[in-house]
Amino acid sequence: MIRSDRRFWPLATGLAMLAGYVDAIGFQHLGGYFVSFMSGNGTMLAVRLVEPDGQGAVAVLATLLGLFVAGVMLGTLVRLSLPHHGQGVLLSLVAALLAVSAVSGGAGALAMVVAMGALNATFERDGEVSIGVTYMTGTLVKIGQHLARMVAGRARWDWLPYLALWLGFVIGAAMGAWLFPRWGMAALAAASGAALFGAGASWRLRKAI
């Protein structure tokens, strides 16, 4: 993240908040499965595989994992096809998928997972993800690494952008957890609007560079 253009840091933090918001809604809607935290789903898949009555859960988890990878592929193809304007188009696509989720009831969870997979292609450098906005374990590792560098007398504040990213995710998750019992899947309409706002911010930032 610290090697990326600082003008994009607020957008990255906002998208991390969006990811946390959607993940909390998906977690509640699916009864304990994640739509962006695939490490958690992978662990649950392994546990369910060795349980005698875990076949139904295995099918659900395998579907979620497959859809997430499909979303990553979709997002990456958008970025490869549109190297200069792909970020805004991608976020518009994420907004459309979340809008579908907001009005589709139970089936909406499928579009949520694809959207979260695609969201990971928002920030790329040399064909690789430069800022991960849905998986926070790596962000915590970066916080720890840069705090160690600070203790060692090197860069003092490089951990702060990663902390902002992590806090954005947690705050978004808290918002999603609070709104889902009140609005249900309709709460994803706000997430769709936020993704559209992010698309507009991306277009403006790209023009300014």
Q: What amino acid occupies position 164?
A: A
Q: Residue 153 contacts by C-beta under 8 Å, 6 or more apart in sequence?
A: none
How large a percentage of the chain has pLDDT more than 70? 97
DSSP string for 30-57: TTS--SS-HHHHHHHHHHHHTSTT-HHH
Nearest to 173 by CA among 12, 25, 31, 9: 25
Tokens in use for 19? 């990811």
Is the predicted pLDDT of residue 195 greater than 90, yes or no?
yes
Beta strand pairing status for 124-125 and 128-129?
antiparallel
Of 206 and 73, the one with more pLDDT: 73
Instruction: Tell me the H-state helices in 50-187.
Output: 55-81, 86-103, 108-119, 137-151, 160-183
44-72 pLDDT, tens digit each: 999 999 988 888 899 999 999 999 999 99
Assign 104 a pLDDT band (cuts: 50, 70, 90): confident
The predicted structure's pLDDT at residue 132: 86
Mean pLDDT on 93-102:
96
Burial (0-12, 13-18, 19+ Cβ within 10 Å), 32? exposed
Exposure string over 72-99, b if 16+ CB within 10 A, otherwise e = bebbbebbeeeeeebbbbbbbbbbebbb
DSSP string for 62-74: HHHHHHHHHHHHH
Judged by phi (left if over 0) then psi (alpha if -120 to 50, else beta), residue 72 lies in alpha
Is the predicted pLDDT of residue 209 greater than 80, yes or no?
no
